[in-house]
Structure 1
């Protein structure tokens, strides 16, 4: 019975995330020109006789007047570019002091971006990684194809502690066609990805999305605490109220932040910060409007 309850709870959580992602993607796409996607739009195909149900806005009035029969213009959607989602599911993502953990937010953002990309007629692929590639979904314009990744992605729990960008980035460097738009979604608690990102940037457009918990920006002064480094699985006993701890933590944090921002801005690519408790709709709209 417990296993059935666990399954039903997982299924409920899956439905909740997908429904929320659909709602958010609709909000972002509604009335929004997502110009960041290359190749979007419609291509004129032909003129044909009006059929019941055709949009009156497509009527070609010149030919209609000349032939005295109603004709409409038809269009084919222009093929969008390839989108790759590079999704970090390593153990550092399980941290969270709000309603959602970092990994919850990373997964939700990934689904939202996938839905937006599919609505822009793009081909969407995904690489899920920790310190190795965990899941691969080859690019496809079909939502039914991408939906096969949804449950494995949203229910995925990595047993790997460390983060290593190299396997996922090496895969794209060596095995993907040029000209894709790559979203790298992670907490970026690492400092060994810059060179790989530089190489990848030679063939793709990149956007780094850093997900964080607000507690990480200012660690609470709670006196002595047992902390666990989720990347190394080491336990440490610290006085969080001490000045030395505060100074050391701020130095560590700023080092990672500077590394992240410098990696993407130095290459002329965009980056975005998203907090686990943040309503990121307007922020994502602004990002996707940029060309």
Structure 2
């Protein structure tokens, strides 16, 4: 894992790590008189009204960033069609991002959630801390089964006051979290990473089988031998994906989808390169 992440950092993140993020790593420094060409969105209206002239806020780049990983540990992450589960793909992404932060001398922390907050590791620097994070991630045995992303986002928003980068690792098979996602994006640079299994896109041509929801235990019959059933299944998850993309786009939250049959490192490199070109 360290060898793969080192290649990832060397090929991209070590040089462009900060350039791909919008907002974090910047803190307020002072105000000065507004001059033509300044961003009007940065005008400090309180100071301007007192001084009788337009003043703008000036920010400076911090020496270090804080990367905070919001990690879905619900039971739906354990299942999939291929050799690699969503949980394993999620662990690879988690490890790569943690090592990337260490290579750039940044702090990294994480919250693990199901239908409750399962674990919290505050942001720290150093390779030892990153290895502890990864060990916790790989060996984690959650007590809950469901997924309450809204609670996790709300917890991060209340606990992490200093602006940073929040990366959400989840299959996003949950509801009721968009309000909290909006609030978190106001104070942090949020990136939504959706872990996708081939079964999320197409139901296999099979006989009549019992399907159990891993988070609720509810059982239904799956008629994979019926073309209409497979079509409706595909249309449902296509709609779910479009809604997720639309809601994230409305909030200007970058999205990344990583399939379990894809190389997570290659997907991260592609994602950060596209961000750096914008």
1:237 equivalent to 2:231? Answer: no
Q: Deviations over 1:70-91 (max 9, x none)?
A: xxxxxxxx62211110000100
Partner residue of 2:106 out of 103, 106, 122: 122
1:103 equivalent to 2:87? Answer: yes
- The TM-score, its normalising length taken from structure 2, stands at 0.78
Contact 1:197-1:263 at 8 Å conserved across structures: no
Unaligned runs of 5+ in 2: 27-61
Contact 1:190-1:256 at 8 Å conserved across structures: no
Partner residue of 2:250 out of 250, 263, 266: 266
C-alpha displacement at 1:240, in angstroms?
1.2
Runs ≥4 in structure 1, deviation > 6 angstroms? Answer: none
SS in 1 for 2:256: strand
Contact 1:207-1:264 at 8 Å conserved across structures: no
- Closer, same or farther in 2 for the Cα pair 1:223/1:115, shift >3 Å? same
SS in 2 for 1:281: helix
Hey, what does 2:237 align to over in structure 1? 253
Alignment of 1:39-188 (within 5 A): 39=25, 79-188=63-172
Give the whole-Å Cα distance in 2 for the aligned partners of 1:202 and 1:176. 13
Hey, what does 1:31 align to over in structure 2? 11
Unaligned runs of 5+ in 1: 1-19, 41-77
Give the whole-Å Cα distance in 1 for the aligned partners of 2:239 and 2:148. 18
Contact 2:112-2:118 at 8 Å conserved across structures: yes
Give the whole-Å Cα distance in 1 for the aligned partners of 2:244 and 2:75. 19
Give the whole-Å Cα distance in 2 for the aligned partners of 1:125 and 1:184. 12
Give the whole-Å Cα distance in 2 for the aligned partners of 1:124 and 1:280. 19
- Say which is worse superposed, 86-95 or 231-240, in terms of deviation: 231-240
Give the whole-Å Cα distance in 2 for the aligned partners of 1:95 and 1:219. 14
SS in 2 for 1:98: coil
Q: CA RMSD in A?
A: 1.9
Give the whole-Å Cα distance in 1 for the aligned partners of 2:244 and 2:103. 29
1:208 equivalent to 2:192? Answer: yes
C-alpha displacement at 1:26, in angstroms?
1.1
- The TM-score, its normalising length taken from structure 1, stands at 0.75
Give the whole-Å Cα distance in 2 for the aligned partners of 1:137 and 1:280. 23
Hey, what does 1:224 align to over in structure 2? 208
1:191 equivalent to 2:208? Answer: no
SS in 1 for 2:202: coil
Give the structure with higher Rg (CA): 1
